[in-house]
Amino acid sequence: MLLTLLKSKIHMARLTACEPDYEGSISIDADLMRRAGLLEHEQVDVLNASNGARLTTYVIKAPAGSGTIALNGPAARLALPGDAVVILAYAQFTPEEAATHTPIIVLMDEHNNIKPTTEKLNKG
């Protein structure tokens, strides 16, 4: 049996753009993707804390250091720039792996900077 657990979370990032004419997905700053352990094209859930919308999409890489968090395509109609979002990725684990798994949690400030407390959270 495999269990599906939270792999990583980007908590309360701010959307920098909503591009409805783009083909789809969520663009995330490459540095932030690396920090959260996200891969390009990985499936994620996006929870809009500003309006309650939830959606599933995939990640595409935005330029490193840009601070970009952008919803693209039809999903862009579920948000506005400045909305606070939570981005969740999951992975499957055996029960033995699940017993020792700790997800990566990246806390963001209102300017899409990583909060220093993130390091303490990820050390267990």
The per-residue pLDDT for range 18-76, each reduced to its tens digit, is 999 987 799 999 999 999 999 999 999 999 999 999 999 999 999 999 999 999 999 99
Q: Taking all residues of the chain, what is their mean pLDDT, rounded to a whole number?
A: 94
Looking only at the bridges linking them, the beta strands covering 104-107 and 3-14 are parallel
- For domain 3-122, give the fold: Barwin-like endoglucanases (2.40.40)
The catalytic site residues sit at 25, 58
> How far is the CA of 11 from the CAs of 48, 82, 104, 108, in angstroms?
11, 14, 11, 6
Query: How much is the pTM?
Result: 0.93
CA distance 38 to 63: 14
* Residue 32 contacts residue 10 (beta carbons within 8 Å): yes
- Per-domain boundaries in the chain: 3-122
